[in-house]
Amino acid sequence: MHSIAINFVGDVMLGEVFENYKRGVLSKVKKEGFDPFAHCRSDFQSGNATIANLECVLSDKTDQSAPFSELLRAPANCVKLLKAGGISAVSLANNHTHDHGEEAFQDMIDTLNQNGICTFGSDLKGVSQDVPVSLDVGYFRLGLLAYNLANLSLGGMEALVGRVCQSTRRHRERFHLLVVSMHWGLEYVDFPPPWVVQQGKRLIDNGVDVVYGHHSHRVQGVARYRHGVIAPSLGNFVFDSRLYDNRITGILRLTLNGSRAEMGSELLPYVINRSFQPVPAPQLAGELRRRTRILENLLKADDRQCRLWTKRAVWNSGRGHLYNRIQMRVVFLLRILRYRPHLWKILTRKITRGSLFGKPTLQ
């Protein structure tokens, strides 16, 4: 009987975030011949395919001016790192792949596809998918769909998931395994808000086999529901966050033996080291099991329990955002010489409903 193993990982970001300007992932690549996948390659190679969320732009083009032209963007030739690392497919449905304009976005798609990396999650106009992208892995055909829900209201999210369900029912029989990648939820929380769990169950009920999420920067467990697997967020995987909770990560390994009913799942524990590389971390297996138990409880929570978990999630996310804003201010002041040529632009920059350091809108 034929069998395959498929790896799923969270956010892969080969550029730099604001607080790590000139000292993040891209700086490692430029100065040290950095290989972000050096410590996870054996696990990648033991599978038949690896799927990631690409949380940056890979292009030499940008419509931004410095320093913002250098944030969450890496040169096109960094695609060689993904290819050498064994990345088979990337979701482009997130809130950063359009940061540098449509020309850069188109250039990134061309670069990835020319290097044999499958892309899914958005057409050239940024419109969501209606038809799954096919990825053949051994004797199996995977259907890949991806959506960015990070800026949607709860009503907008429910409407979009309803449209996704129509698509999955229409295309279910074409694929051995149907995967939906979701950029959703609250940031800086190590469990999903109940509405994410509810929409994940809805997707499984409508024929999806794997609901695979990201955006929270935290791993939020992996659980079985009916015939499928729900992983609300796999957190960061290659990312230049220096907060320990944001560095706990993992590889979701799915094995498929002949039918969906025989699909197995395993979450391999990893941690991102000080060089921004994911390395095996068996000592974190217990922590990931704890998060999985919370997810399992949320899958069967009643309305009252969901309300309590919602309040806790919103509180924890707000606290995480506050801590992140404080960190950004401190780093900015301590390393102000790095930013000095661009001070006026930085101080007047508008992000969502405030300044660069203002309170963000909780998604």
Q: Write out pLDDT tens, residues 339-359.
A: 888 887 877 765 433 444 444
Q: What does the pLDDT look like over 187-222, one tens digit per residue?
A: 999 999 999 999 999 999 999 999 999 999 999 999
Residue 17 covered by a domain: yes
83 occurs within a structural domain: yes
Which band of pLDDT confidence, cut at 50, 70 and 90, is reported for residue 361? very low
Residue 314 lies in a domain: no
CA atoms of 65 and 69, how far apart (whole Å):
5
Model-level pTM? Answer: 0.93
For residue 331, is it within any domain?
A: no
What's the residue count for the chain?
363
**What CA–CA distance (Å, rounded) separates 40 from 278?**
7
Q: Which two tokens stand for residue 222?
A: 């992996």
HSE, side-chain direction, 13 A CA sphere, residue 209:
23
Number of H helices, E strands in the chain: 11, 18
CATH number at residue 292: 3.60.21
pLDDT of residue 261: 60
Query: Percentage of residues in the chain with pLDDT exceeding 70?
Result: 93
Instruction: List the domain range (segments joined by +) for residue 41.
Output: 3-304
Asked whether residue 315 is domain-assigned, the answer is no
How many domains does the chain fold into? 1
Domain assignment of residue 153, yes or no: yes
Flag whether 60 is in a domain.
yes
Residue of 313, 330, 328 lying closest to 359 (CA atoms): 328
> How do residues 33-84 score in pLDDT, each as one tens digit?
789 999 999 999 999 999 999 999 999 999 998 889 999 999 999 999 999 9
| Residue 325 within a domain | no
